[in-house]
Amino acid sequence: MPPAPSAPEVAELPGANLPADHGLTSLGLILQLGGTFFAAYSAILAFLGIVLVGTSEGRGSALWVFFILGLGVTRALFHRAAGTQLLYGARDAVGDATHPFGGIRRYIVVGAAHAVVTGVLLWEKLAVERTVAGAIAIGLLVWPAALAVLVSLPRFRRCADRLPVSEDKGFEGAAILMTMLGLCGAFATGTFLVGILDHARSTSGSFLLHGPGFLVLLALVMLGVRLLVPIATLILINRTLTPTARASYRRPHEPASTAAP
């Protein structure tokens, strides 16, 4: 006779209104998104700094700035890798699953080393005041320190094998991120557009009739249209998945198989 089916696993929720993954899915998304953004931004600043240096006496400082920004790109890539491992896991050399927080622990070490090295280089090579360089180093240490405290909390010890799947499969966290990014993008684009229109008014509109001004205006309009996509997606997610997730939060005693569709 076939063995009797085992009882479904009971969802282990941290609280009546908290997801089963303790928000770690949203943290992984933030790590991925932040790492990608800061890696690209630091790389652009590094190459712009090299291109804009036209005097030989300033090239030495520019190379040190390029090196410091390159260290920032490396840190950002570790930041992104930490989020990827937290969300999707990783395998070691023999094929065994590694700890979901392994990438975060590596990033903590890299982030702390980056903060110290950056502070020293700013002080020694770029003649930045000691207090300013120290403040920058401390600021760079804040996020790795916060992650170190987070992964050491006792409630995350049960996540050593795998990351629990939240009831809404992480879609609510993605919706929150899309909302924040959409609002920030709309604010930045709107501010830039107001500045462009004010400049065009001072030049009797001639700025917008020529190539550069017209291209900038067209790009801003396209960005504004693009911002409608995450907002519309957010509305769709909230109408379909979020009510189900909230209902499952109110029933923590239900089996995990019925906690999410």
The percent of residues above 70 in pLDDT, for the chain, comes to 59
Tell me, what DSSP letter sits at residue 125?
A: T
pLDDT at 209: 64
Range scoring the smallest mean pLDDT among 20-34, 68-82, 132-146, 236-250: 236-250
Residues 184, 182: Cα–Cα separation, whole Å: 6
The reported pLDDT for the residue numbered 52 is 64
pLDDT at residue 249 tops 50: no
Between CA 101 and CA 96 the distance in angstroms is 15
> Is the confidence at residue 194, as pLDDT, over 60?
yes
> Phi/psi zone of residue 170: left (φ > 0), alpha (ψ -120 to 50 degrees), beta?
left
* For range 12-26, the mean pLDDT: 65
Among candidate residues 89, 75, 241, the one with its CA nearest the CA of residue 167: 241
Confidence of residue 159 (pLDDT cuts 50, 70, 90): low
